Amino acid sequence: MLQIKFNRSHNQLAASSNTANRSLKADDALLLVAASEGDSNMLYAVGFFVPDPFIFFQHKKKKYVVMSDLELDRAKRQATVDQVLSLSGYQRKLRKAGSPATMIGILELLFRERGIRSLRVPANFSALLADQLRAKGFNLEVMPDPFFPEREIKRAQEVRHITESLRVAKLGLNAGIRMLKRTESRPDGYLYLNGSKLTSETLKTAVNTTIMAQGWLPSHTIISSGNQCVDPHHEGTGPIKANTSIIFDIFPRSQKNGYFGDLSRTVVRGRASDKLKKIYSTVQAGQKIGFDLIRDGLNGREVHQKILDLFAREGFPTGQIKGRMQGFFHGTGHGLGLDIHEAPRIAPVDATLKSGHVVTVEPGLYYLGIGGVRLEDVVLVTDKGNKNLTDCPQFLEI
Amino acid sequence: MLQIKFNRSHNQLAASSNTANRSLKADDALLLVAASEGDSNMLYAVGFFVPDPFIFFQHKKKKYVVMSDLELDRAKRQATVDQVLSLSGYQRKLRKAGSPATMIGILELLFRERGIRSLRVPANFSALLADQLRAKGFNLEVMPDPFFPEREIKRAQEVRHITESLRVAKLGLNAGIRMLKRTESRPDGYLYLNGSKLTSETLKTAVNTTIMAQGWLPSHTIISSGNQCVDPHHEGTGPIKANTSIIFDIFPRSQKNGYFGDLSRTVVRGRASDKLKKIYSTVQAGQKIGFDLIRDGLNGREVHQKILDLFAREGFPTGQIKGRMQGFFHGTGHGLGLDIHEAPRIAPVDATLKSGHVVTVEPGLYYLGIGGVRLEDVVLVTDKGNKNLTDCPQFLEI
């Protein structure tokens, strides 16, 4: 799923913070308070899904979670930490001491017991808890992203999880393609399935239920057609015409381990215009630049610029046309893992690719009246180049 | 979906903050920086889904969003705000002034232009941005939850959205029940479907694909059986036996508007033990206490305590038994809306119910060796009582 430019501000935000002095002092602790279902740093830290917020901290190379009685047993079995502490135990201690068993009370007790005075928290840490911890005298340092820099470099198992999610994305895509192949076009220009106009919604049902049946979660799948494609975050709605571009952008998340797949393909049911065919082959050529260049040490900005240059040379400029952004106006790629969009980016920002990065390569071209094309594969960056983790053919007309 | 006790700490955290002096001064602005897909305050504020973080602020009763070029058109059509500002416009202004177009730079420019010096942000606001705003001289007040107190009181349209999501939850449940009815039990004690052991995973596929086909997102559906039920957050896994409790806890979210449904039912394929039947009717009686008592002005703690008392009188105590929490050890209910768990709670904490609250009523009883029962309906609190929004029968044996 393409990433819009706004996130650049976030990256620059991080880059502009003082990251030089990040060496962890021995007595500093890392602290997270979040639900692992909604926070990918927490999921990375503990390795299992919990729907409600809880405490994780890391001190002197040991990892701890503080769990309610309800989650204690599951945490002991599943959490990838050194020690599971009992929340109710700390609540009882506080009440015995006549203090309310609040979150801040529990944190204070936890850290005082261990002589911890300095805490490092992620950028998205609760501003309220941050204020409360400082009011209690803790030295709190808010770290710019990435909080766990090692998250960028995928371990072999993480690569397998992502590859598996890509396989499921492809199953979903294939269900959509199969449905499209069962449609007929009528003189009104629309595609019909079993006598009714085929809609984006019907196609999404085919794709999403196929993915769901595998146990993956397909949220906000994009299946847009025609001019809808020119708004790349348009999820797609309504009837679909024959002979026009249909973009599938499918990013299922495993409900077991949380890793995403991310796959985009563009097809036409019927015949594509010559212009659209030219756009399609140009986007393919743009993607090939990515496949050819991406390797350890490369600056993502360079790849992105070379693709833009190719597109311009081929007659496909990027910019405002009749008040609308057209051309190639999103990033070439983004990191993929426990977040659908994570570092590094391949975009008009400096970002050095490293072995172990897993990134999308998804150039696109979008013009009103012609349609849009986006092709997205996922590659693992290696010392010598990259390995395409996506095993899915590309074809335009079906 | 039941809420574990840990959140009590969050509620107490909020309660312990100074909420007395919350009247908004005329020049204060409310500020959110978040993706509306992941942050329900943002979704409430703008009414449409955006996958990446953006800026919302409210000043002198006017609401603003700052959107990237990609989202500008969609925001103008869909966002429930007074003005849509262009992110790239502010980025250009900053670059012209020789400043980096960072998030903090944009926020500073936005607020200086409007003479805004004081900002109110939610508890989950980024601690990093909070630090940066204060460093720029802004007076930042971090508000305890709820940031939008009006979110607790559901408008008629919100009640309709929740009711619709409950209808979809019921469709999912029915798909599971239908599948169960097609199973046979064999001498090994397990249920078989088409010659294979029926698993929680297979049942979830039936439930979740049915929900997905409606366009709703069924994440982390719980279908657990037997002793798994005694760990109420256990999502359920593996083969299911005949004559044992099977808990369905289904909470689909609309992908159009973000509102959740939440439905739990417990069934047995085959014959329930007398003990399990007694538990089932006792949980029903507990739920009836909720239906009978809940009305504007009632303290949720009172309902919860009365249900606990009934359970104890009927011979079903709550507490540690053989090192495991057993009995009724989660809340009676929670608010439901854009979050699966929101205020108010019906639990061992003070919380006055008000007309317009939409809350779950979901007592449960869980004992090792017997199984678990949870029954969950959703009601709208009214001046005179409450209205059950769930239209779904209750039966144990199928």
The C-alpha atoms of residue A236 and residue A203 are separated, in whole angstroms, by 10
Domain presence at residue A394: no
CATH number for position B39: 3.40.350.10
Asked if B70 lies within 8 A of A106 by C-beta distance, the reply is no
Contact criterion met (CB < 8 Å) for A215 and B204: yes
Angle between helices B127-135 and B103-113 (to 10 degrees): 50
Asked if residue A390 lies in contact with residue A378, where contact means CB atoms within 8 angstroms, the answer is yes
Interface residue B136 vs chain A (CB under 8 A): no
Mark whether A311 and A212 lie in a shared domain.
Answer: yes
Q: Does residue B139 sit in the same domain as residue B174?
A: no
Q: Are residues A368 and A275 in the same domain?
A: yes
- Prediction ipTM score: 0.88
Nearest CA in chain B to A127: B127
Q: Is residue B47 part of a domain?
A: yes
Q: Which amino acid is at A53?
A: P
Domain assignment present for residue B10? The answer is: no
Q: What local confidence, expressed as pLDDT, does residue B17 receive?
A: 38
Which residues are B358's β-sheet partners? B380
Q: What is the DSSP string of B70-97?
A: HHHHHHHHH--SSEEEEHHHHHHHHHHT
Q: Note whether A181 and A261 are same-domain residues.
A: yes
- Helix, strand and coil percent figures for chain B, each rounded to 5: 35, 25, 40
Residues A58 and A200 placed together within one structural domain of the fold: no
Nearest CA in chain B to A141: B128
Q: How many helices (H) and strands (E) does chain B have?
A: 10, 23
CA A163 – CA A218 distance, rounded (Å): 16
How many angstroms separate the CA atoms of A251 and A259, rounded? Answer: 10
Among the partner-chain residues A16, A38, A324, the one whose CB lies closest to the CB of B100 is A16
pLDDT > 60? residue B6: no
User: What's A169's domain CATH number?
Assistant: 3.90.230.10
More confident residue, B147 or B69: B147
CA B247, CA B226: separation in Å to the nearest integer? Answer: 9
Please indicate, yes or no, if residue A16 is contained in any of the structural domains: no
Domain stops at, among A87, A119, A147: A147
Asked if the structure places residue A2 within a domain, the reply is: no
**% of residues, chain B, pLDDT over 70:** 94
Whether the Cβ atoms of residue B118 and residue B28 lie closer than 8 Å to each other: yes
Tally of domains within chain A: 2
Q: What is the Cα–Cα distance from B56 to B68, expressed in whole angstroms?
A: 13
The answer to the question of residue B121 being in a domain is yes
**More reliable by pLDDT, A1 or B102:** B102
In single-letter form, the type of residue at position B354 comes to K
In angstroms, the CA B56 to CA A386 distance is: 39
For the cut 80, the answer to whether the pLDDT of residue B27 exceeds it is no
pLDDT category at B164 given cuts 50, 70, 90 is: very high
Residue A165 tokens read as: 């999610």
Q: What is the pLDDT of residues B37-46, one digit of tens each?
A: 989 999 999 9
Degrees (nearest 5) of the Cα angle B78, B80, B85? 80
Using alpha carbons, select from A287, A285, A309 the residue that is nearest to residue A378.
A287
Burial pattern B79-104, b for ≥16 Cβ within 10 A else e, equals bebeebbebbebbeebeeeeeebbbb
What per-residue confidence (pLDDT) applies to B52?
A: 85
Q: Supply the range of the domain harboring residue B303.
A: 153-388
Are B178 and B284 members of one domain?
yes
Task: Name the nearest CA neighbour of A276 among A362, A368, A341.
Answer: A368
Residue length of chain A: 398
In this predicted structure, what is the pLDDT of residue B73? Answer: 83
Average pLDDT, chain B: 93
Does A231 sit within 8 Å of B74, measured CB to CB? yes
Read off φ and ψ for residue B29, nearest 5 degrees: -120, 150
pLDDT band at B26 (very low <50, low <70, confident <90, very high): low
pTM, whole model, 2 decimals? 0.89
- Distance of alpha carbon A62 from the chain centroid: 28
Specify the 3-state DSSP secondary structure of A107: helix
User: Does A71 touch chain B if contact means CB atoms closer than 8 Å?
Assistant: yes
Is A11 among the domain residues? Answer: no
Q: What is the pLDDT of residues A159-190, one digit of tens each?
A: 999 999 999 999 999 999 999 999 999 999 99
Of A365, A370, A362, A347, give the one whose Cα is nearest residue A392. A362
Instruction: Please determine, for residue A230, whether its predicted confidence score (pLDDT) is greater than 60.
Output: yes
In a domain, B27, yes or no: yes
Using the predicted structure, report yes or no on whether residue A121 has a pLDDT greater than 90: yes
- Whether cis (ω within 30° of 0) applies to the bond prior to B344 is yes
Shortest distance between the Cα of A209 and any Cα of chain B, in A, equals 5
Tell whether A131 and A203 lie within a shared domain: no
Judge if A173 and A115 occupy the same domain. no
Q: Is the per-residue pLDDT at B391 higher than 80?
A: yes
What CA–CA distances, in Å, run from B21 to A74, A104, A159, B351? 42, 21, 51, 20
Tokens of A105: 């009370």
Residue numbers of B between 92 and 111 with CB closer than 8 Å to A: 100-104, 106
B234 at A interface, C-beta within 8 A: yes
Chain A residues within 8 A of B36 when measuring between CB atoms: none
Which of A106, A131, A147 lies at the terminal end of a domain, its last residue? Answer: A147
Tell me which of B70, B202, B328 to substitute to probe the interface with A (most A C-beta atoms closer than 10 Å): B70
Residue A24 confidence (pLDDT): 60
Q: How far is A200 from chain B (nearest CA, A)?
A: 11
Alpha helices, DSSP H, located in B69-199: 69-78, 87-96, 103-113, 127-135, 156-181
Nearest residue to B157 (alpha-carbon basis) of B47, B41, B57:
B47
* Average pLDDT score over residue span A269-282: 98
Could B131 and A144 be called an inter-chain contact, meaning their C-beta atoms sit closer than 8 Å?
Answer: no
Give burial (CB, 10 Å; 0-12/13-18/19+) of B312.
middle
Name residues 174-193 of chain B within 8 A of A (Cβ).
none
B302 close to A (CB below 8 A): no
Domain boundary among the residues B124, B147, B170 is at B147
Three-state DSSP at A240 gives coil
Same domain, A278 and A171: yes
- d(C-alpha A364, C-alpha A311), whole Å: 10
Residue A208 distance to chain B (closest CA, Å)? 7
Q: Are residues B108 and B166 in the same domain?
A: no
Is there a single domain that holds both residue A257 and residue A365?
Answer: yes
| A226 shares its domain with A180 | yes
CA distances A40 to A144, A168, A175, Å, are 15, 21, 29
Q: What is the pLDDT of residue A11?
A: 35
Residue with tokens 């601690």: B127
